[in-house]
Amino acid sequence: MMQAILVSTAVTQRMSNDAMTAFSRNDLEQRDQNDPLADLREEFYLPPDLLYLDGNSLGVMPHRTRQRAMDVITQEWGTKLIHSWVDHDWLQAPVRVGDKIAALIGVKPGEVIVADSTSINLFKVLVAALQANVGRQVILSEAGNFPTDLYIMQGLSAFAAEKVSLKTVEPDQITDHLSNDIAVLLLTQAHYKTGQIQDMKKITRQAHEAGVLVVWDLSHSTGSIPVDVNKCDVDFAVGCGYKFLNGGPGAPAYLFVAARHQTTGLPILSGWIGHKDPFGFSDKYVPAANINRFQCGTPSVLAISILECGVDLFGRTEITKLRDKSIALSSLFIDLMDQHCNHLGFELVSPRKSADRGGHVSYAHKHGYGIMQALKQRGVIGDFRTPDIMRFGITPMYLRYQDIFDVVDIIGDVMAGNEWNKAEYKVQPSWS
Ligand SMILES: Cc1ncc(COP(=O)(O)O)c(C=O)c1O
C-alpha cells in the first residue's frame, strides 16, 4: 500500500528530484475537488469498483446515451417510422454529427462526414488521394502503423497492382522517402501502441513540398489532443468514433476531405446515398458535389445518434482544458510508476515529454499479459498489445487524480504478490 508519495510539482515536465513534493492520496482527492472539469465525470455511467483506463480503446457510456437510444428506438423509429428520415433529421445525421466533429479537429463545416468504419473510410480516402495525385501510384506509410491502415493499403494494391504500389519504411525515415513517385503518405497522428504524437504540420508541409498528398489517421487524437487539421493544410483524415468520442462499441467513424479535394474523381464506393440526388433513382451514378459523396449506403441512424451524445459532451468544455488535465494525469501516472514500479521491470515506451505523448501511457513488461489479467481481477482495466505492451488510457473527462494513485497502488500490489504469475495467464487467447 502506498502511503505518502512523491510526485513532481511540474507534472508536465520530466520528473526531476529537486522538484519533488510529498503528496498523499488525500492531497489528490483535494486536487479532484478543485478540478474545474470534475463535474464532467457525472455525465458518464462508470461501473462501481472499476478503474477504467481503456477509454482509448472503447470509451465509456454517457448517461444521456441510454435515453437517446430509447427515444430513437421507441419514438423516432417505433412510432414515426419512415417519416423520421425527414421529421427527425435522420438523413442529415451524418453531416450534422460530422460538423460537430469538424469543430473538434479544426476544420470547416461540410468537410467531415460520419460513416462506416475507420477501415472503410481509409479505403475511400486513399483512393480519392490517388485520384487527386495523377501520375503517381505509391502509397507510403510507416512500419508499425495500426494494422488496419497497413492492411487496407495491401488489399488495395493487391486488387489494383498495376495502379497502386506500397512502400513501408521505419517511422524516422518517412521524410527521406518522399520521392516523386509517392502519391500519398498515410500516417497515424498518435501511435496506437506508444502514444507518440507526430508533427502533423511539419510532415504535411514536407510531403506537400514533395508533391505528396497526406492522409492522417486521427483515431487516437480526436477528443484527446487539440488537432488543427486545416491549419496543418491536411488533405484527408479518418478516425474512430468509439474511443475518446465515447460513441459506443463499433460506433460509426468519420472522414475528413479538404474542400479542395471533394470533387476530384469518382468515389470508389459509389453507393446511392453519395449520389447527387439519391431519391431521383436515376440509373446513372452522379456523385454529390460535396462531402456527401463519401457516404455509400444508408446511414446507421441509431449508432450515429448514440455517437452524437458522446460528441456533444465536448461542447461542455474546451479541448485545451481536457488536454491540460490529460497531461497532468498521465504525468502523475508516470511519476508514480517511476517511484514505485519501474524497478519491477516496467519500461516506459511512451514519450516522457508530455507534448509528444497522446492520450495513453504504455509500458513494456515481459509479463505484461499476465499483469494485465491480474489487474483486471483487481478492477483495473487497461489493455495489452503484443508482444509486451501494457496500455493505460488517460481520459480526463472521467478519470480522477485519486484513480491514478489507486491504479499504481494496485499495480504495486499485483507485483508484490506475484498475482500475474498464474498458469491461466501464460497463454494469451487469440482475442483478448
Ligand atoms: C489508429 C487506428 N486506426 C484504425 C482503427 C480501426 O478502426 P475501425 O475498427 O473503425 O475500422 C483503430 C482501432 O483501434 C486504430 O487504433
> What does the pLDDT look like over 322-349, one tens digit per residue?
999 999 999 999 999 999 998 999 999 9
Q: 346 CB less than 6 Å from ligand 1?
A: no
- Check if 136 is active-site: no
Determine the average pLDDT of the residues in 49-68. 98
Q: How far is the CA of 125 from the centre of ligand 1 (A)?
A: 15
Q: Which of 52, 242, 294, 384 is catalytic?
A: 242
Model confidence at 427, in pLDDT bands (50, 70, 90)? Answer: confident
Q: Where in the chain is the domain with CATH 3.40.640.10?
A: 89-315
First CA to last CA across the chain, in angstroms? 29
Q: 254 CB less than 6 Å from ligand 1?
A: no
Nearest to 243 by CA among 142, 359, 146: 359
pLDDT over 60 at 351, yes or no: yes
Q: How do residues 353-407 score in pLDDT, each as one tens digit?
A: 999 999 999 999 999 999 999 999 999 999 999 999 999 999 999 999 999 999 9
Q: Where in the chain is the domain with CATH 3.90.1150.10?
A: 5-63+318-425
pLDDT over 60 at 18, yes or no: no
Model confidence at 428, in pLDDT bands (50, 70, 90)? Answer: confident
Q: 192 CB less than 6 Å from ligand 1?
A: yes
Burial 319-353 (b: 16+ CB within 10 A, else e): beebbbbbbbbbbbbbbbbbbbbeeeebebbbbee
Cα gap 25→272, rounded to integer Å: 57
Query: What is the CA angle 427-194-54, rounded to 5?
Result: 65
The pLDDT score that the predictor gives to residue 2 is 63
Q: Whose CA is nearest to atom 16 of ligand 1?
A: 192
- Superfamily classification of domain 5-63+318-425: Aspartate Aminotransferase, domain 1 (3.90.1150.10)
**Ligand 1 atom showing the smallest separation from residue 241 Cα:** 10
Number of other residues whose CB lies within 10 A of the CB of residue 245: 29
Model confidence at 424, in pLDDT bands (50, 70, 90)? Answer: confident
**Ligand 1 atom showing the smallest separation from residue 117 Cα:** 10
Cα gap 160→420, rounded to integer Å: 47
The pLDDT score that the predictor gives to residue 410 is 97
Domain 89-315 has CATH 3.40.640.10: yes
**Ligand 1 atom showing the smallest separation from residue 120 Cα:** 11
Provide the whole-model pTM. Answer: 0.94
- Check if 32 is active-site: no
* Cα→Cα distances 47→38, 302, 400, Å: 17, 24, 15
Q: How do residues 117-158 score in pLDDT, each as one tens digit?
A: 999 999 999 999 999 999 999 999 999 999 999 999 999 999
Query: Facing residues of 142 across strands?
Result: 169
